[in-house]
Chain A
Amino acid sequence: MASEKIDVRYVAKLARIALSEDEAERFGKQLGDLLAHVNVLSELETASVPATAQVVESRNVERSDEAGPCLDRETVLSMAPQREGSFFRVPKIIGQP
């Protein structure tokens, strides 16, 4: 089956990944092959198969509403690339390149 068309640059943009020309072409082809592979499924007769969103069969895995211990703040903030006082510090949100 022929490669599926995929706008690899748009997907890369949504995923915030910068791609070189070479990469765009290479990944574009790879992603197209993947889609074509998945497309094999559409050849199956699925009218009688119920739709699913999960491969495991369990349902209603829930926890009771009890509060428990949290992480120590110093431990948490020590993992952050940047902190300021008791906050995480992040770069400019709007107007980033």
Chain B
Amino acid sequence: MTVQTRYEAVIGIECHVELKTRSKMFCACANEFGGEPNTKVCPVCLALPGALPVANAEAIRHMIRAGLAFGASIPAFSKFDRKNYFYPDMPKDYQISQYDMPLTLGGSVRYWLEDGTLKECKLTRIHLEEDTGKSIHGGGGDGRIAGSSFSLIDFNRAGVPLMECVSEPDLRSAQEAVGYLEALKRTFVQLGVSDVKMEEGSLRCDANVSIRPAGSTELGTKTEIKNMNSFRSVLRAIESEIERQIAVLESGSRIVQETRGWDEGQGVTHSMRSKEEAHDYRYFPDPDLVPIEVDAALIDELKKTIPVLPPERFARYRGYGMDPKQATQLVDNFPLADYFDACVAAGANPQASMNFVLSDLSRLANETGTPVNESAVTPEALAELVALVESKTVNSKIAKELLERMWAGEGSPKAIVEQEGLAQTSDTGEIERLIDEVLAANEKAATDYKAGKTNILGFLTGQVMKASRGKANPALVNELLRKKLE
């Protein structure tokens, strides 16, 4: 047993995700990334005296839908609280958040690993809050907060609706943590509740990491890892932190409970301990906002808007024989996955349509710039084509030709086949006649074959196929050619 396998990691993730809405959480300023600094601000998000917040109905619906997608319970009663702390990017000196009565409780996130293994991570809660402004640290310190003598603040982001998803400590490796985050991301994108652009900071996460002897059920002392700016840095940071904690325990020391920052350049976490004492936010219900009551009618209405979700699709696609990479690619291309599901619903064999969707149709979409789901090839038409191949009415070469012509808008595959007599021929007499013609025209090849150059068979098969205008059954051509030559 190696040192690494003697320990088990226990990881929980706190993840902040900006919601996709037109306006901010409590005011009508636009919720858009970037823009000229301090142009999307108003008395509410700047905390000017007397300004009153009013909750954004769409943000609340997004929250409930996110909860429903993960099977969370939606309490009938929820409220906003003030989280009190001082920081210059938050003009009110408190953040409107949810303390003990969040909009969603429990639920679980199903996710998968690169090798296709399906896993599940329980959620503690998802609550709704508001984002802070952005700071640029100046005057020394190389853009870092420590060492800078002043900071510049842009409040455009202050008040943008933000959901915080808190997981249970159910994750056991850095790979699982990334799989979990990817599942959150693809679910939120598919629900349309967030764009989840990490490069724009619309998904930010911290990880709580501890280790314990393998087989133990007690939790070790945890550290909180911050400053991870991509899924890749989440993977590296957690791996590095697990290694560090193992080394600490192996050397006979103890883990100190602390916040550690990930240093992307050096590939290690650093202690961020400061002299500040434990946080004491003095939460209390925000008197400016009234409680939220969610009734069964609203939940029913929103339930109807939840699409087929990624884990369900992934499992089904794996069942069709897709490898984990193919299945993931298709799951993440929602319009294409919808299209594929529609083909299957139209009666197409899943494996056969999968090949058309993932290769030929995706290629045509790339070449023409038209998405598959907006092309002239309807799911019903593809199902028809798949049926023609399955019944051996056309061979795969003709099927590809047909697909291109369907894409070009020439109509249903059946109609094209009937009009032009493209149906595959398995007429032995007809094929033998073509073989005789080809052999007569290629005497040398025939002689070479008999002399042992058997790989020339491919060339001869090709010539016969060409002579049949692609309609001959290639397996039959091969078989008859071989007989003729031996």
Contacts and interface: CB of A to CB of B under 8 A. Distances in A.
Interface of A: 14, 16, 53-54, 56, 58-71, 73, 76-77, 84-95
B145 interface: yes
Contacts of B292: 59-60
A69 B29 CA distance: 7
Nearest to B26: A63
A11 B289 CA distance: 25
A87 B23 contact: no
Interface stretch (B39-47, B63-71, B313-321): B39-47
Nearest to B295: A60
A62 B60 contact: yes
Contacts of A63: 23, 28, 54-57
B285 A62 contact: no
Given A76-B46, A90-B150, A94-B146, A68 B23 contact: yes
Nearest to B61: A65
A54 B291 contact: yes
Nearest to A74: B38
- 4 smallest beta-carbon distances between A and B, as pairs: A68-B28, A65-B58, A53-B285, A87-B152
B157 to A, nearest CB: 13
Interface in B60-116: 60, 79, 84, 86-88, 101
A61 B60 CA distance: 12
A96 to B, nearest CB: 10
Interface in B442-481: none
Contacts of B430: none
Given A56-B290, A76-B41, A67 B55 contact: no
B28 A66 contact: yes
* Chain B, interface SS category: loop
Nearest to B289: A61
Contacts of A84: 152
A87 B136 contact: yes
Nearest to B152: A87
Contacts of B58: 64-65
B274 interface: yes
B287 interface: yes
Contacts of B37: 85-87
* Chain A, interface SS category: loop
B269 to A, nearest CB: 19
Contacts of B274: 94
Contacts of B38: 73, 76-77, 86-88
A66 B291 contact: no
9 contacts: A54-B290, A62-B55, A64-B58, A65-B56, A65-B58, A76-B38, A76-B46, A90-B153, A93-B87
A18 to B, nearest CB: 14
B31 A67 contact: yes
B292 to A, nearest CB: 6
Given A71-B42, A93-B88, 13 more contacts: A14-B84, A53-B291, A54-B285, A54-B290, A54-B291, A61-B55, A64-B57, A65-B58, A67-B23, A73-B41, A86-B37, A87-B38, A93-B145
A68 B38 CA distance: 15
B36 interface: yes
B28, B58, B155, B280: most-surrounded residue (chain A CB, <10 A): B28
B36, B46, B79, B290: most-surrounded residue (chain A CB, <10 A): B290
B43 A71 contact: yes
Interface in B137-182: 137, 145-146, 148-155
A62 B57 contact: yes
A67 B22 contact: yes
Nearest to B292: A60
B36 A73 contact: yes
A86 to B, nearest CB: 4
A73 B189 CA distance: 33
Nearest to B146: A94
Contacts of A88: 38, 88, 152-155
B21 interface: yes
Contact of B152 (A56, A60, A89): A89
Contacts of B137: 93
B30 to A, nearest CB: 4
Contacts of B135: 93
A68 B41 CA distance: 11
Contacts of A93: 87-88, 135, 137, 145, 148, 151
A65 B23 contact: yes
B21 A58 contact: no
